[in-house]
Amino acid sequence: MIEPLIHADVNDFNRDTLKKLKPYFDLNIARSTSKERELWFHNLLTLAQYNLGIAHCVQHNHYPRLFIEVKFANQLPEFYTPVYENQIGCMSGWKSADSMQLIDNVLSGTKQWISLVDRADFGIFRVPVDDTEAYVMIDFVAAKPIIDMSYTTPIGMQIARPGSITLDNYVLPNDSILGYNKYVGNSPDFSISPT
């Protein structure tokens, strides 16, 4: 059970921050009660009133953790640890400036505008595959992406500062394709991968 956040005494986002925030945000939302979820979102609102950039990082760290813990409920990926303060995750949807593509389980190109990518251990990203999008999981230790942090930082988001990753013919493990977004007209229709 998480606790109510009254005041946030954090000024950065790293593993030490995760230790401090653990009592307020370490929650598997998929296996929680509605009351626990409500408290989690209330804590996020409280944190955002203190520092929007840190709240943004909490959200961007939590989403890939949740995705992994739902998709791999029976056996987590080898690189992943569910201990809240041990790893930082990041995520990013598809951006028109992205050049990253997935062809035959091989990722190449650049994924743009990723919050907290310079501190992340892994990420989940949407990348084009023919006429669909794939949700791909990338272990940064194995993939060794080139990280570029030369982006302009939006006001209020200095801690969440965005960057990009570039991969050149990185072969994704089979279980790293988490699902697909198939478009019906202009509406996405999410489906789980056949693995």
pLDDT at 181: 85
Q: Is residue 173 situated within a structural domain?
A: yes
Sheet containing strand 106-115, strands side by side: 101-103, 106-115, 162-171, 146-148
User: Which CATH number goes with the domain that contains 141?
Assistant: 2.40.110.10
Tens digits of per-residue pLDDT, 166-185? 999 999 998 999 999 875 44
Q: Is residue 77 situated within a structural domain?
A: no
10: β partners: none
Domain count, the chain: 1
Q: In terms of residue numbers, what domain contains 135?
A: 89-192
| pTM recorded for the entire structure | 0.89
Q: Is residue 51 situated within a structural domain?
A: no
CA distances from 118 to 13, 88, 147, 159, 191 (A): 11, 10, 7, 11, 30
Tens digits of per-residue pLDDT, 61-103? 999 999 998 899 889 999 999 999 999 999 999 898 999 999 9
Q: What is the mean pLDDT of residues 122-135?
A: 92
Q: Is residue 25 situated within a structural domain?
A: no
- For β-strands 122-129 and 89-92, DSSP reports them as parallel
